[in-house]
Structure 1
Amino acid sequence: MKELIGKIVHSVLTGQDYRTYVLATINKRFLDKAQKLISEIFEYKRKGNNWLEKLLDDTYKKQGKNNKFKLLWFGGLNDKTVKNMTGGTSAKRVCLDLGKKNIKALQLLLEEFENSEDLYQMIINIEKDKEKISLDYIESLFFMNIISAMKLTIQGGAWSEVGKKTEKGLLFVIFKMINIPDERYILTNEEMKKKGLVKNREIDAIVLNDKNEALTVELKLLGIGNPEIGDEAFSRNVNLFLTDKLTEMMKDEAKNQGITVIEFRQKNPLFKIYEFFSSNGVSCNKPEEMSAEELEKSINKIIREWREEQEDLKIVKKLKEWTK
């Protein structure tokens, strides 16, 4: 994960599109999960009839988070869909019952159209060590439903996971590269937000200047593809808003509200960040000028040294100081 974060951080700080790295992660996870699901489908299909119902029942009996995900996928569902259908719960028994109902409903629908001349017929064959099993038309569509449900789950999870890790790692790299002392900044975590020590849950970092005044930082990537994030951040009155790109209208709005916006796709964003903190009384140094290759090496070195656990311990220490 650190290698991936390093590549994304380098892409962000040099104004490049970093999304290909996230997509590569999603594709790798998809292939890994697909192989595991296909192997189970292969084994159950070769045992005989009603293989999908038996697969659901056996998966239900297994413990662990991964098996709960499989239970959802074999029923053609995902966690969010189940919670929306039930008003918030996704207990295993509920997943099993809804999965069976979903399969039955899809089966009835497909049987209505099975003999239609207007439909394309799809038959999936799975082969392993020269042994081959064939799924019929309806089973093949069940298979597609299973794989699609899995893809939706890992796709959403990967963007969220990589996003959270990258945002913290990116801020850590920035603060290190402009030499803000460790004791003068905090990368906020959920514990601080739960205790109400951060005015808003979306604030990603707090930096203290020489007068011990707190400067709040919010970081949001994919800004140009999500124009609402600017409005949301501005309503929180953060001091510094970092993003990959914003529209001119939103930048004007931020200026009117006294919020500094720095885009990573503008020229030399790291120097602009240094200028912001320096002009606001934060102890820091001008970033070194370096080539893209030198920058990449420097980022990778910092990321390797990054210990999220140590950052959390620093937060715990601050929590004790602020809650005395």
Structure 2
Amino acid sequence: MRFSQIAIQNTVSKLLNGQDYREEILNEINLNFLDFTLDFFKNILDAKMNDKALNMSWYKKWFINSDKFKSDEVAIFGGMNKKSITNIYGSATKTIILDVANANINYLENIISSLESNDDNIGISIRISYKQIVVELNLSESLLVINALATKKIALRGGAWSSIGKRVEKPLMLELCSLCGVDRKYINAEIFKKDSILEFDREVDFKLYNNNKTKEYRVEVKLMGRGNPESADAVIARDSHIFIADTLSLQNKNQLKSLGIEFLELKNNANCLSDFKNILLRLDIPFKNK
């Protein structure tokens, strides 16, 4: 999921002020979801106006077996997401996605048909209007659309929370260093690997240097919730020296201390800048008081 520059800037600002950043991410998820929903409804309107099929063949024709949409969109329309398809089938080529999406639509149709045959079923219909044009979806069509929207929302949420840390890491560290007066010559924000020979090696995106540049310090940023067991593991895997986190449990802190790793907890911390300056002092990383 892509984040707007404003959302990234607001997230960085909230983190450095000890505030919770999650509202910014939720707002981005909702904006992306609403944009998708409106576009989806417009495409449904167009499809129904140009296809009078009484069964669900129109949905497959316009949303599954059409060249108009990218493969990840086709997966969503079929009630699946691309990542799940990759995990299940080991690949997510267009052919695989088309097969899975068509099969899943057939499966959903069968389930919906059984619901429709139940005398106690609830009537559901979605009405889409644009100017003088009105389209009303029946129960089967409405449930397929609702399922696709639910799939999209889940995909957006998963993508947002898994990627926000990586998107914010550099802007956060650059802003933190700027506010603390660290000169750019003591900063390396280029992507690099601990050992380029190893294909499995983890990337580290930020390094700081001491006064005479005889030592380099790898920086790890994690925006996880309190008590996340992966936090310290990530630091160990990347051989990091400084750990910046949204929240840290007591266990996290004790583990980092035992490893001799400097750390900074941001949430509810009114002294983020002064705490980071203390880390810089201990590691002999030059900075100017502002």
TM-score, scaled relative to structure 2:
0.87
Q: CA deviation at 1:14?
A: 1.0
- Counterpart position of 1:4: 7
Q: In 1, Cα distance between the equivalents of 2:202 and 2:182?
A: 23
Q: Kindly indicate whether the alpha-carbon contact (under 8 Å) linking 1:274 and 1:285 is maintained by their aligned counterparts in 2.
A: no
Q: Secondary structure in 2 aligned to 1:229?
A: helix
- Counterpart position of 1:307: none
Q: In 1, Cα distance between the equivalents of 2:230 and 2:165?
A: 17
Q: In 1, Cα distance between the equivalents of 2:216 and 2:209?
A: 5
For residues 190-235 of structure 1, give each alpha carbon's deviation from its aligned partner in whole angstroms, at most 9, with x where no partner exists: x5468359x9525332111124211121111123163432343246
Pairwise mapping of residues 71-110 of structure 1 onto structure 2 (< 5 A)?
71-87=74-90, 89-110=91-112
- Counterpart position of 1:48: 52
The equivalent position to 2:281 in structure 1, one of 278, 282, 304, is: 278
Answer 1 or 2: which has greater helix percent.
Answer: 1
Q: CA deviation at 1:126?
A: 1.3
Q: In 1, Cα distance between the equivalents of 2:64 and 2:217?
A: 54
Q: Secondary structure in 1 aligned to 2:102?
A: helix
Farther off after superposition, 166-175 or 200-209: 200-209
Q: Kindly indicate whether the alpha-carbon contact (under 8 Å) linking 2:64 and 2:77 is maintained by their aligned counterparts in 1.
A: no
For residues 58-92 of structure 1, give each alpha carbon's deviation from its aligned partner in whole angstroms, at most 9, with x where no partner exists: 52x24xxx6223211221121012112212x2111
Corresponding residue pairs, total: 281
Pairwise mapping of residues 107-146 of structure 1 onto structure 2 (< 5 A)?
107-146=109-148
Q: Kindly indicate whether the alpha-carbon contact (under 8 Å) linking 1:207 and 1:214 is maintained by their aligned counterparts in 2.
A: yes
For residues 99-142 of structure 1, give each alpha carbon's deviation from its aligned partner in whole angstroms, at most 9, with x where no partner exists: 11101011112212222244433221111113221111111111
- Counterpart position of 2:170: 168
- Counterpart position of 2:206: 205
- Counterpart position of 1:262: 264
Q: In 1, Cα distance between the equivalents of 2:32 and 2:80?
A: 18
For residues 16-40 of structure 1, give each alpha carbon's deviation from its aligned partner in whole angstroms, at most 9, with x where no partner exists: 1111111111111111111111111
Unaligned runs of 5+ in 2: none
Matched AA of 1:226: N
Report the CA distance shift for 1:242/1:200 in structure 2 as closer, same or farther (over 3 A). farther
Q: Kindly indicate whether the alpha-carbon contact (under 8 Å) linking 1:193 and 1:201 is maintained by their aligned counterparts in 2.
A: yes
Q: Kindly indicate whether the alpha-carbon contact (under 8 Å) linking 2:219 and 2:243 is maintained by their aligned counterparts in 1.
A: yes
Report the CA distance shift for 1:196/1:177 in structure 2 as closer, same or farther (over 3 A). farther
Pairwise mapping of residues 148-187 of structure 1 onto structure 2 (< 5 A)?
148-187=150-189
Q: In 1, Cα distance between the equivalents of 2:227 and 2:10?
A: 21
Q: Secondary structure in 1 aligned to 2:173?
A: helix
Q: In 1, Cα distance between the equivalents of 2:82 and 2:194?
A: 26
Q: Secondary structure in 2 aligned to 1:207?
A: strand
Report the CA distance shift for 1:257/1:267 in structure 2 as closer, same or farther (over 3 A). same
Unaligned runs of 5+ in 1: 289-324
Q: Kindly indicate whether the alpha-carbon contact (under 8 Å) linking 1:227 and 1:246 is maintained by their aligned counterparts in 2.
A: no
Q: Secondary structure in 1 aligned to 2:9?
A: helix
Q: In 2, Cα distance between the equivalents of 1:103 and 1:279?
A: 60
Farther off after superposition, 48-57 or 31-40: 48-57
The equivalent position to 1:37 in structure 2, one of 36, 40, 65, is: 40
Farther off after superposition, 177-186 or 50-59: 50-59
Q: In 2, Cα distance between the equivalents of 1:159 and 1:232?
A: 17
Matched AA of 1:204: D
Q: Kindly indicate whether the alpha-carbon contact (under 8 Å) linking 1:237 and 1:259 is maintained by their aligned counterparts in 2.
A: no
Q: Kindly indicate whether the alpha-carbon contact (under 8 Å) linking 1:217 and 1:238 is maintained by their aligned counterparts in 2.
A: yes
